[in-house]
Amino acid sequence: MSYVITEKCLGERYATCVAVCPVDCMYPGDYQGQEFMVIDPEVCITCGACLPECPIGAIVESEDYDPAYAQVNAELSPQFKENAKVPERPRDDPPRREGNTLVN
């Protein structure tokens, strides 16, 4: 089982999770015309380092928690993998999407 980046990240992309990932399994890209990140399920070692780093709680610890976005992560990973790294957005930057709130 892999960790999954969910719809909460869509249009947000804080990318604070990337720096703590020991296996470099998170990639940025655009999905549905908005900024997004994915976790490559083939590379993720489910270490948990990323989970507390997302200021809006967009990462879940199992594919079972969001099967639809688990599939999105798996499908987009091969193409996002080649994208350049993106700078981190400040953790205290207010969410852009209505309904998202800072959790950390």
The CATH-assigned architecture of domain 4-80 is: 2-Layer Sandwich (3.30)
**pLDDT, average across residues 59-78:** 98
pTM above 0.85, yes or no: yes
Long-range contacts of 99-104 (CB under 8 A, 24+ apart): 100/8, 100/12, 100/56, 101/56, 102/55, 102/56, 103/54, 103/55, 103/56, 103/57, 104/52, 104/53, 104/54, 104/55
**pLDDT, average across residues 74-91:** 96
Question: With bands split at pLDDT 50, 70 and 90, how would you rate the model's confidence at 104?
Answer: low
pLDDT, residue 1, reads: 87
Instruction: Write the burial class of residue 3 (CB in 10 Å: 0-12 exposed, 13-18 middle, 19+ buried).
Output: buried
